[in-house]
Amino acid sequence: MRTTIVILSVDEAPMLAYSLPAARLQQDADVVVVDNACTDATAALAHQHGARLLRTRHRLSYAEAMNFGLSELTAPAVLILNADCFPEPGFLAAARPHLDLDGVGSVAGKLLRAPRAVGDEPALGIDAAGMYVNRRRRNGLVGHGRASSSFSRTAECFGADGACALYRREVLEACALSPAAGGLPEVFDEDMALWATDADLAWRARLLGYRCVYEPAAVARHVRTYSPSTRAGVSEAHRELQFRNRYLMWVKNETRAGLLRDLPLIGAHELAALGYVLVRERHLLRGYRAAWTALPAARRRRAEVQARRVVERVSFGLQAPE
């Protein structure tokens, strides 16, 4: 299955210098670089490595820039790849066959935590063996921080982490939200901008009946910016956005059956979260306010998502066994 690897750069030429060669080594694949109004050597590197270049006119959010890039793709499979993620040779050869299975819409590889783009240092452990959304509706990375040798079996998971996610293109098209006036179809929710947009996409795919498979033989190294192990060093603004986006994702994708089943768990978690915010991170109170402000748009999107869904209740907590 022919695959397009799409890499977004936001002045990330130092990372592209390593992710582009890694992408070019994948079989039956072409590479597209989305240049998000970069002022560095992104364009030169794309040309040097034979990648197709798509340039935005001005700096866009992650979601906007990715929607721009995805709208230009025609291959039957798409690998969404961060500039700071480096797939090992054979990544696609291991992951792609799962897309031929009935009902499989995406594949998550085994991402290993890399201390930097280049070097002989061993991986710091697992970065992500897929993503989860649990019954409390908390999203996160499966296996983050565990030993690199763990999570060695193929299994179903909730979704693929956006740093390196393989999708059938028809699934991305089916998940896309209707654009605003004059805009492009929104594979990634542009109101969310960045954090949790991958979990939101995975949830929408599951509502449409598509499964995600975790394949441990598809290995990539990732220099992650935001994770449970790096959260303390992330700006308050980004933590607030992540906090807000979880509620927007929930409002848009939750089903009545799922809510009725898990309401006690969700309620207990939200009370605990509020207590944590009040004691430890009071700046996240702004996240509640921001979620409330964005609620009308999220409810409009919810109407579209729920009108399309084909399942009554999504299975949460799916992850490969260790």
**pLDDT single digits (tens) 195-244:** 999 999 999 999 999 999 999 999 999 998 766 667 767 789 989 999 99
Structural domain for 221, as ranges? 3-228
pLDDT value of residue 186:
95
Rounded to the nearest 10 degrees, the angle between the axes of helix 285-308 and helix 197-207 is: 30
**322 in a structural domain:** no
Q: How far apart are CA 185 and CA 173, in angstroms?
A: 8
Instruction: Report which DSSP code applies to 121.
Output: P
pLDDT value of residue 228:
66
Judge if 144 and 267 occupy the same domain. Answer: no
Judge if 64 and 138 occupy the same domain. Answer: yes
**155 in a structural domain:** yes
Judge if 77 and 191 occupy the same domain. Answer: yes
pLDDT value of residue 305:
96
pLDDT value of residue 120:
67
Judge if 218 and 265 occupy the same domain. Answer: no
**316 in a structural domain:** no
Judge if 81 and 173 occupy the same domain. Answer: yes
Q: Following DSSP, what letter does each residue of 172-240 receive, concatenated?
A: HHHHPBPPPTT---BSS-TTT-STTHHHHHHHHHHHTT-EEEEEEEEEEEE--SSSTTTGGGS-HHHHH
pLDDT value of residue 181:
66
pLDDT value of residue 1:
87
**320 in a structural domain:** no
pLDDT value of residue 226:
66
Q: Which two tokens stand for residue 6?
A: 């799409």
Judge if 203 and 268 occupy the same domain. Answer: no
pLDDT value of residue 212:
97
User: Which of 177, 199, 228 finishes a domain?
Assistant: 228
Judge if 219 and 256 occupy the same domain. Answer: no
pLDDT value of residue 115:
81
Judge if 19 and 112 occupy the same domain. Answer: yes
List 77's β-bridge partners, or say none.
3, 168
pLDDT averaged per 10 residues, the chain (length 322): 96 96 96 98 97 97 97 96 97 98 97 80 89 94 94 96 97 92 88 95 97 97 76 83 95 94 95 95 95 96 95 84 75
Alpha helix locations (H) across the chain?
13-24, 42-48, 62-70, 91-95, 169-175, 197-207, 236-253, 256-279, 285-308
Judge if 138 and 261 occupy the same domain. Answer: no
Among candidates 251, 256, 156, 158, which has minimal Cα distance to 206? 158
Judge if 221 and 292 occupy the same domain. Answer: no
Judge if 244 and 127 occupy the same domain. Answer: no
Per the structure, the count of domains in the chain is: 2
**143 in a structural domain:** yes
Q: How far apart are CA 216 and CA 222, in angstroms?
A: 15
Query: Which CATH number characterizes residue 99's domain?
Result: 3.90.550.10
User: Which of 202, 228, 254 finishes a domain?
Assistant: 228
List 30's β-bridge partners, or say none.
4
Judge if 237 and 224 occupy the same domain. Answer: no
At residue 284's C-alpha, the angle toward residues 273 and 290, to 5°, is 110
Q: How far apart are the first and last CA of the chain?
A: 30
Q: Is residue 236 within 8 Å of 129, Cβ to Cβ?
A: no
**43 in a structural domain:** yes
Among candidates 47, 186, 159, which has minimal Cα distance to 105? 159
Residue appearing with tokens 């969700």: 266
Among candidates 142, 111, 127, which has minimal Cα distance to 216? 111
Q: Which two tokens stand for residue 195?
A: 């954090």
User: Which of 210, 228, 246 finishes a domain?
Assistant: 228
